[in-house]
Amino acid sequence: MVNKLWILLSALLMVAMPSAQAGELNLYSMNTGSYVYHMTGNHGQYNEHFNNNFFSVERKFSQDSKYSVLVGTMKKQL
């Protein structure tokens, strides 16, 4: 599932980026989230450290916007 999501998001970014203006490219970011530590009591119900397969792509609405859209996966997180 993660591999299919990675391929889909990569293809989407490759199609969208060449047609975007240079300033608009700065609105995109990717997060692998490969290391996660839970600050609250984790009693074995969540994966921690390097056992996560989190990946997301985020796009801010504008350069000065506090809001954005994030699409990703939380496989093996819960």
Residue-level pLDDT at 52 = 67
Q: What is the DSSP string of the chain?
A: -HHHHHHHHHHHHHHHHHHS-HHHHTTEEEE----B--SS---SSS--BT----EEEEEESSTT-S-EEEEEE-TTT-
Residue-level pLDDT at 21 = 54
Domain ranges (residues) in the chain: 2-38+45-73
Which amino acid makes up residue 51?
A: N
Per residue in 55-72, pLDDT (tens digit) is: 788 888 888 889 999 888
- Other CB atoms within a 10 A radius of the CB of residue 23 amount to 8
Per residue in 9-56, pLDDT (tens digit) is: 777 666 665 555 556 778 888 887 766 666 677 666 666 666 667 778
Residue-level pLDDT at 38 = 67
Please indicate, yes or no, whether the overall pTM of this predicted structure exceeds 0.75. no
Residue closest to 1 by CA, chosen among 52, 53, 48: 53
Residue-level pLDDT at 32 = 77
